[in-house]
Structures are given as C-alpha cells and as structure tokens.
Amino acid sequence: MPRKVTPEALDSLGAADPAAQRSRRDLRRLHFAMGTLSIMTRAIGPKPNRSRLRILELGAGDGSLALRFAHRHARQWPRVSWTLLDRQNTVAESTLNGLRAAGWQPVVAVADVFDWLSRNQQRGWDIIVANLFVHHFKGDELGHLLRAVSEVTPLFFCCEPRRNTVALIGSHLVGLIGAGAVTREDAVLSVHAGFRDRELSAQWPSHEAWSLHEYSAGLFSHCLLARKT
C-alpha cells in the first residue's frame, strides 16, 4: 500500500462535540488493545540519570496515556514535569490531579505543534514522545517536524499505525471494541497514513550522533526510537 495521508474526522470536531468525546474514549480502548503503554515503556527504558525529568508529549489528547505512564513509573521516576501539547485542551482536571498525586508536574500547552516548537527552541526536553500523532504529517511537514524535535531533545519515541494488511483488517474491526462512527472511519485512514520499513528514519534530519531504531511492535504498531549518542 502506498502511503496516503487524509484528514481524519476527529481533527475537524470541537472539543465539546459528543462525537469527539466518544472518539477520545475510543482512543483509550485502542491504546489498551495496541499495548501502547508497554511498547513505550520498553522503548524508553530505565529513567535517565537526572534528578528531574522534562518530558514533552506531542498530540497528547486527553492526557490519559500520560496518567497511565505516571501510575506505572512514578515510584521509580519521582520528579517529572510532563507537558501535554495539543491543538485543543481536552485534559480533564481529574487527569491533572492524578498526575499531581503521583508527584508529577503536568503542564497543558494548547498550540499548533510547529508554532509551539519554534517558540520554545531554547528549552530542552529530556524525552519527547508521540503516540498516533506523527502519521498525520507527510512530505516536507513530516521532515520539518522531525527536524524540530531533533533540535530540542536527546531522546524521541513515537508509536504509530503500521501500514500493512493485518493492521488494515484490524482497523475495519474496531467496532468490535465498541468504537463509534468517527473512530471506525479514522482507524482505516490512520493505517493508510501509517509507516513501514524505514520510512521515518529516512526523514530524520541527520544520522550523525544519533542511534535510530525503527521497528514493528505488536500486530498494529510501527515505532521510531531516536537516541542521541
């Protein structure tokens, strides 16, 4: 399948739209089904040797994945500032309170990813993560995003849809886990916009001083781990 990026329905819905709210609940189920939290945990590995960690999540959505990560790692990672970046503020106060209760400092940033990164180039992030986000970009935009990320962090991880027949079949079956109409449509589009082989590595701005590991995870995910050496 050639890669094809098409605007997804959720992106055009307001934060308060009931269809958007249901789709965000669907995404939590999809993350469970895809094993995203475990995939991200294995990729990032042990906590870097720093007293306080600054983590940036691109396309953070409702922050539920960050909260699950905090519940799993707060004891080993006691001092974390986690910035949740998205174009809409859909993070519930209960999610922020959950992160604070874990001893972490949540920061919500509502902005376009390119504008925000360009305005924060002087700030360093120990880790940048993105889940089901990078596949929204193609061509020059994708290269621009990865270049901007490489300039502000020594470690980047993204988990995206895998573009193959098994994942495509799975995307047509998301209704079996209770997904609504928006998610059923967007899941298929996401697979067509997903990645395979070394498509993400090819867009990384420079391979010098970087260790790049691009790989498939589980049945449906395609990942890139970029670590500065």
DSSP string computed for the chain: --------GGGGS-TT-HHHHHHHHHHHHHHHHHTHHHHHHHHH-SPPS-SSEEEEEET-TTSHHHHHHHHHHTTTS-SEEEEEEESS----HHHHHHHHHTT-EEEEEES-HHHHHHHTTTS--SEEEEES-GGG--HHHHHHHHHHHHTT-SEEEEEEEB-SHHHHHHHTTGGGGT--HHHHHHHHHHHHT-B-TTHHHHHSS--TTEEEEEEEETTTEEEEEEEE-
pLDDT band at 78 (very low <50, low <70, confident <90, very high): confident
98 in any annotated domain: yes
Express each pLDDT in 80-121 by its tens digit.
Answer: 999 999 999 999 999 999 999 999 999 999 999 999 998 887
User: What is the average pLDDT across 130-159?
Assistant: 96
Overall average pLDDT of the 142-158 stretch? 95
CATH number at residue 211: 3.40.50.150
In-domain check, residue 2:
no
In a domain, 16, yes or no: yes
In a domain, 206, yes or no: yes
Could you identify the residue written with the tokens 């799993």?
72
Residue 171 has pLDDT above 90, yes or no: yes
Q: Per residue in 182-205, pLDDT tens? A: 999 999 999 999 999 999 999 999
In this structure, are residues 165 and 135 in contact, taking their beta carbons and an 8 Å threshold? no
**Are the C-beta atoms of residues 8 and 186 closer than 8 Å to each other?**
yes
Q: Is residue 1 in some structural domain?
A: no
Q: What is the pLDDT of residue 49?
A: 66
- Could you tell me if residue 4 is inside a domain? no
Which tens digits make up the pLDDT trace of 7-64?
A: 999 999 998 999 999 999 999 999 998 999 999 999 998 776 667 899 999 999 999 9
Per-residue pLDDT at 79:
87
Number of structural domains (the chain) is 1
Output the pTM of the full model.
0.94
At residue 180, the pLDDT reads 94
pLDDT computed for residue 126 by the predictor: 93
* Domain assignment of residue 3, yes or no: no
Inform me whether the pLDDT recorded for 207 exceeds 80: no
* Cα gap 109→1, rounded to integer Å: 35
**Is residue 107 within 8 Å of residue 82, measured between CB atoms?**
yes
**For residue 156, is pLDDT > 90?**
yes
pLDDT band at 146 (very low <50, low <70, confident <90, very high): very high
So what's the pLDDT on residue 119? 87
* pLDDT at position 122 over 80: no
Establish if 100 belongs to a structural domain: yes
- pLDDT value at position 52? 84
Structural domain boundaries, residue 145:
9-228
